[in-house]
A and B are shown apart, each in its own frame.
Chain A
Amino acid sequence: MNKDMMLGSEAVALGVKLSRPKVVSAYPITPQTHIIERLSEMVDSGELDASFIRVESELSAISAVLGASQAGVRAFTATSSHGLALMHEVLHWIAGSRLPVVLVNANRAIGSPWNIWTDQTDSMSQRDLGWMQVYCETAQEALDTVLQAFYVAEKVLLPIMVMIDGFILSHTLEEVIIPSQKQADAFLPIYEPEYFLDVDNPLSFGNAAKGDVFYYLREDMQHSMEASFGVIREAHNKFDEIFGRKYDIVERYYLDDAEIVFVIAGALTGTIRVAVDKLRALGIKAGLLKIRYFRPFPSDIVKNLLKSKEHVVVLNRSVSFGSAGQLAQEIKNALYYEPSKPKIYDYILSLGGKDVFVEDVVNLAKNVGNLKTSKILWRE
């Protein structure tokens, strides 16, 4: 087995290369830069047979990817934070066009003030686009998820945004098992879309649609999201068969008998794992539910896993001002119809890269009896 130490960003670039996209377009932004630097090198050296379009903005990067995908090839872009925000209009357009684009977002806070460190406000702000969203914990997961993302997107016919936390995943060296191209090719079929820009079968894409038509096009996006869990499981099973690594829509850690459950998405999961270990050593029945797929949100799975728990502490890394942490909203939503439900705490764990120490989380669990469920909880 071929292993190497690499940054999370480099793992992403490797996953992209193994997916064989034909067009990559990107605009640099910290902390996404290593991804596109590596891809540029791969394209220039001929390692990756793709066009790399070095555009003048993220708006153009996502636009070029829109064009390439509509022309019928696999297309990829990566960005972060302000860049993702600048892409917003086109992100909608890609989803409405039902194009299986894959985008990696290195999560980063959005100003003002300037801040390059990680939080998930950028991607959470884009949750309603019709894009699927996956949050990764490790470099290996990031690499593997890129491959899975193309597989799922091309079957569901919706684009996927893959999140890696800025710096704590993008810029951190980890050991990564490097899949072979042969394995990747066995997993990810050649991309052959049914409808694309084709001079031999001239179609018009995106002509104005009246309300009744527009309505059922949007309805189908929701149906596709709902039906995508089957495709995701199929992808995970096939991935396990070929690569021998198991993935799920959510991940459980000491969850089955847990009384206090932490819910989190992204790379801080690792910190929480350590905290759970410490709490277990102290005899406190703590557990962890890691959310991989935030869109579609696996409400049924979450409901079944959490309905009989006593305390659920949702560790948000973003906030919807005036409402709640976006992750907490989803958890509450999933459990709403249950007759008996756990106490759900909406905790804003970190924004703009504010450090999270294991002790903070341990103390939080110890103190869980004093927490309030009625409002957003902020750290002291």
Chain B
Amino acid sequence: MDFREVTNIEYMNQGDFACPGCGAGLSMRHALKVLGDNTVIVMPASCWSIISGVFPTAALQVPLMHVPFATAAAVASGVKNAFRKKGQEDVNVVCWAGDGGTFDIGLQALSGAAERKEDIIYVCYDNEAYMNTGIQRSSATPPGAWTTTTPTGNPLIYEKKDMFNIVVSHNPAYVATSTIAYPDDFYQKFEKAKNAKGFRFIHLLSACPPGWRIDSKDSVKAMRLAVESGVFVLMEKEQGKPVKVTYKPKGLVPVREYLLFQGRYKHLNEDTVNEIQIMINEHLMSLGLL
């Protein structure tokens, strides 16, 4: 991607409260560059509840409403229906939720909105734990990962919930996984989501330097390694078409390299790393990538 061709218009203000190197702040910045100012954000409890600024200041230049943790997709349904009734059908109504608000407490509302084919875009920025409350395990926490509620590591039998396929099973307009470490992929998918009509879901892997126990400078690198090692697969599913892997790593990086540069995995022994590698291989085989 030629970054010189990316718009200079920013829809975020400086001075937000994201931690240094936060993947969620960066993802929002670019998502809005694609979505533009005809966009409304609905935000359940998440790191972004803080990032967005303290009353009466705001980090976003588009309308934003904060909502209770479990309600994002339902609130967005109400917002979209209101806009439709006001003759503003074209407004992008976007849920911007973390993994907790999506995989766990917000899943029911999400499923409801997806099933009703609500005309909204649901973005989950997945930093793989309850980071805002201090790094507690969620159902998006990968096997093996340390969190404050899995102090000896998330048990390997707790496989990360397969959100992509859960949403796909509702047969919505568009479902994708992406990460800002792959700018082309990210921009194309947000563009597709923006142009599709109906329920759209984008699952973004989003590095959290404090929660992943990595140096803030390695934030983008971590997201990239997750993809290059096959831990996170970039995919999409357009309604009526088969699931498509949108990026195939050239040569798979051993998962060891991804895991062991992160503090949250540093307790893993060689056997556990190998077991995780096998789990990843099996997943990749099921996708025809191995």
Contact = CB atoms under 8 A, between A and B. Distances in A.
* Direct A–B contact in complex, judged by CB atoms less than 8 Å apart: yes
Interface of A: 22-23, 25, 49-51, 53-57, 59-61, 63-73, 75, 89-90, 93, 197-199, 201-210, 213
Given A60-B109, A197-B63, A208-B49, A54 B116 contact: yes
A67 B65 contact: yes
Contacts of A25: 74, 77-78
A55 B74 contact: yes
A89 B112 CA distance: 19
B68 interface: yes
12 contacts: A23-B81, A25-B74, A53-B81, A55-B77, A55-B109, A64-B81, A66-B71, A89-B70, A198-B63, A199-B40, A203-B58, A207-B66
A162 B75 CA distance: 22
A45 to B, nearest CB: 17
* Interface class of chain A by DSSP: mixed
Interface centre among A53, A66, A197 (most CB of B within 10 A): A197
Contacts of A210: 54-55
Contacts of A202: 37, 60-64
Contacts of A53: 77-78, 81, 116
Interface of B: 37-40, 42, 49-50, 52-68, 70-71, 73-86, 88, 91, 108-109, 111-112, 115-116
Query: Which are the 10 A-B pairs with shortest beta-carbon distances?
Result: A67-B78, A206-B66, A64-B78, A60-B74, A71-B82, A63-B74, A56-B112, A63-B71, A67-B75, A204-B58
B166 to A, nearest CB: 15
Contact of A206 (B65, B71, B73, B74): B65
B85 A22 contact: yes
Contacts of A208: 49-50, 52-55
A208 B64 CA distance: 13
Contact of A63 (B50, B66, B78, B84): B78
Given A71-B79, A197-B79, A199-B40, A60 B85 contact: no
B108 A56 contact: yes
Given A63-B68, A63-B74, A66-B75, A207 B82 contact: no
B65 A60 contact: no
B243 to A, nearest CB: 26
Given A51-B81, A67-B65, A67-B75, A207 B112 contact: no
Contacts of A60: 71, 73-74, 77, 108-109, 112
A206 B78 contact: no
B81 A68 contact: yes
A59 B63 contact: no
Given A55-B112, A198-B63, A207-B53, 11 more contacts: A22-B85, A55-B109, A59-B74, A60-B71, A63-B68, A63-B77, A64-B75, A71-B40, A93-B68, A197-B79, A199-B91
Given A59-B74, A207-B54, A68 B68 contact: no
A64 B81 CA distance: 9
Contacts of A59: 70-71, 74, 108-109
Given A22-B85, A59-B71, A204 B79 contact: no
A23 B108 contact: no
B67 A51 contact: no
A17 to B, nearest CB: 15
